[in-house]
Amino acid sequence: MSAVEINKDTYLKWFESMLLMRKFEEKTGQLYGQQKIRGFCHLYIGQEAVVAGAISALQPEDSMITAYRDHAHALAKGVSANSIMAEMYGKATGCSKGKGGSMHMFSKEHNFYGGHGIVGGQIPLGAGIAFAEKYKGTKNVNVCYMGDGAVRQGALNEAFNMAMLWKLPVIFVCENNGYAMGTSVERTTNMTDIYKIGLGFDMPCAPVDGMDPVAVHTAMDEAAQRARNGDGPTFLEIRTYRYRGHSMSDPAKYRSKDELESYKTKDPIEAVRETILQEKYADQAWIEEIEAKVKQIVDDAVKFAEESPWPEASELYQDVYVQQDYPYVQD
């Protein structure tokens, strides 16, 4: 029995949230090309259903942690587009005070714990957050995202073992977009069904269609119920596809144009748009209204980032240690 049912409002929220993710990322790519955003930048275009379908099955108190392809996750958790864009600009008004940039988003207020640049580094951290929730006696769940490349890190095995041993309320999610940084799954593993890694730990596990928010929602709902009931973790391999390269510097020559176009025919935003119109959840006028709303949000975010101040030099010594008056040698 589903704890969070899918209804008209779910579809309307999916469309708006996924469209915001898509348009925000497209604008991010443009700004990166203009060198207004520096450093590394990893876009989420094509993978929106993975986060949208998860959020609709979760509660605001549930936490989320992920790797460096993190803009959409932060948006889905409620972090404002303004503070995310400002962060990518390196401005003081960013969600990480301009110190993290594209790869290190963070918001304690929204239970979003990053944004991690070390491949697989967030996996044991996700288990640790779940341990804290269990220790405090809450019913909150942690969702820990990773890519298909990160599952080869040894820390995953340690984290999975402890999570099962202590029945931690964590949902491990492999966002399998097929190519990690640029090498296909088929070239890196003999076992291409990544979800089967969970079998070695007796962890409930399953493959999920990551281009379909309904499939993602259903799988996440079941996993969340299991975690809240004290039955421990789940490992989901959510099979998705990124339309862009690994990062802005990746031309993605390791795949064919035909493959890319094939996945675009399964685009989750277009599929949800079609369902909304077919089921008469809303009309074309509503669609256009949301498109205009999203465009305005993105435009406002860019304006906010452009007009925000740079961090003061003194910020170099802030947020490093808990101790407020840590005796730095500054001479």
Give per-residue pLDDT as tens, 13-46.
999 999 999 999 999 999 999 999 999 999 999 9
Any idea what the Cα angle at residue 73 is, between residues 92 and 200, rounded to 5°?
Answer: 130
Q: Would 330 be classed as within a structural domain?
A: no
Q: What is the domain range of residue 225?
A: 8-308
Number of domains in the chain: 1
Q: Would 2 be classed as within a structural domain?
A: no
Other beta carbons within 10 angstroms of residue 33's beta carbon come to: 11
* Burial profile 275-312: b = 16 or more Cβ within 10 angstroms, e = fewer: ebeeeebbeeeeeeebeeebeebbeebbebbeebeebe
pLDDT surpasses 90 at 240: yes
Structure tokens at 77: 């958790």
Between 163 and 314, residue with greater pLDDT: 163
Read off the pTM: 0.95
Q: Would 1 be classed as within a structural domain?
A: no
* Structural contact between residues 273 and 284, judged by C-beta atoms closer than 8 angstroms: no
For the chain, the average pLDDT equals: 96
Q: What is the DSSP string of 197-234?
A: GGGGGT--EEEEETT-HHHHHHHHHHHHHHHHTT---E
pLDDT surpasses 80 at 68: yes
Q: Would 127 be classed as within a structural domain?
A: yes
Q: So what's the pLDDT on residue 1?
A: 65
Structure tokens at 221: 């709902």
Q: Would 329 be classed as within a structural domain?
A: no
AA identity, residue 14: W
Mean pLDDT value across residues 207-219: 98
Mean pLDDT value across residues 206-222: 98
Burial class (CB in 10 A: 0-12, 13-18, 19+), 32: buried
Residue 202: CATH number of its domain: 3.40.50.970
- Worst-scoring range by mean pLDDT, 25-34, 64-73, 249-258? 249-258
Q: Would 3 be classed as within a structural domain?
A: no
Other beta carbons within 10 angstroms of residue 124's beta carbon come to: 18
Instruction: Please report which confidence band the pLDDT of residue 331 belongs to, taking 50, 70 and 90 as the band edges.
Output: low
pLDDT tens-digit profile of 138-155? 999 999 999 999 999 999
pLDDT tens-digit profile of 278-329? 999 999 999 999 999 999 999 999 999 999 999 999 898 888 898 988 988 8
Q: Would 325 be classed as within a structural domain?
A: no
Q: Would 236 be classed as within a structural domain?
A: yes
Task: Determine the 3-state secondary structure of 31 from DSSP.
Answer: helix
- What does each C-alpha distance from 263 to 52, 133, 211 come to in angstroms? 18, 38, 9
How far apart CA 171 and CA 141 sit, in angstroms, is 7
Phi-psi category of residue 207: left, alpha or beta, with phi > 0 → left and psi -120 to 50 → alpha: beta
